[in-house]
Amino acid sequence: MPRGIPISERMRQRMRHRIFSVAARLFLKQGYHETSMRQVAETIGMGKSTLYDYFPSKEEILLYFVEQEMDTTHQDAVGIAAMNLPAEEKLRRILQSLWTYLDANREMAVLTARESSRLGEKATQRMAFRREKYRAILEGVIRQGMQEGAFRLVNPTLAASALHSMMTMPFYDWLRRKGKEDVTETADELVDVFLSGIRVQ
């Protein structure tokens, strides 16, 4: 799209997604650090200056996937938390949903997990904001479980933080081990490990 010609927000988002898709293929093929913005622009067939209109940096392209991942899994968790289900079942479904998404996008998930620690301060703040929203959902479900009498009375904020911190790293360990177990069954097992510390005996 030539510069100076206004486009709708929908068209802009479609183009951003197209740019990301092309960039992601390059990242996975030759490495994130080995891929330049010039290569991305040339592969798409647009000028480099036009590319910068959509993504001001390569970091922003990577962050696009991270935020898409976090927003999608957050919305899934919101929907599950609103269901008329026991708290334990909600936790299982939330973790199953997260792991299923990561498994379906495993190559990019691994790439972003490896590179996200190098993102700048503003990007880190944006991710922290989304993590806190996700953690708050977990806290609400844990509070529900305590009200139901299914979970011991614990500090729900601390418990939610503990669960949140143990939700993703085991997934990458499972990938490294080339786990043959079903992804949802493995997610269930992780919930069991967590719940063994808060379930009423």
Judge whether 48 and 38 are in contact, CB under 8 Å: yes
Judge whether 168 and 107 are in contact, CB under 8 Å: no
Same domain (yes/no): 71, 153: yes
**The total number of structural domains that make up the chain:** 2
Same domain (yes/no): 27, 123: no
Residue 142: which of 128, 126, 161 has the closest Cα?
A: 161
Judge whether 154 and 198 are in contact, CB under 8 Å: yes
Percent of the chain with pLDDT over 70: 92
For residue 31, the domain's CATH number is: 1.10.10.60
Same domain (yes/no): 20, 72: no
Where does the pLDDT of residue 22 fall: very low under 50, low under 70, confident under 90, or very high at 90 and above?
A: very high
Give residue 39's domain range.
9-56
Same domain (yes/no): 43, 135: no
For residue 119, the domain's CATH number is: 1.10.357.10
> What's residue 6's pLDDT?
62
Q: pLDDT, tens digit, for every residue of 40-53?
A: 999 999 999 999 99
Mean pLDDT of 72-94: 96
Same domain (yes/no): 94, 131: yes
> What's residue 197's pLDDT?
64
**3 belongs to a structural domain:** no
**84 belongs to a structural domain:** yes
| pTM for this prediction | 0.83
Same domain (yes/no): 106, 87: yes
Judge whether 81 and 143 are in contact, CB under 8 Å: no
Same domain (yes/no): 35, 99: no
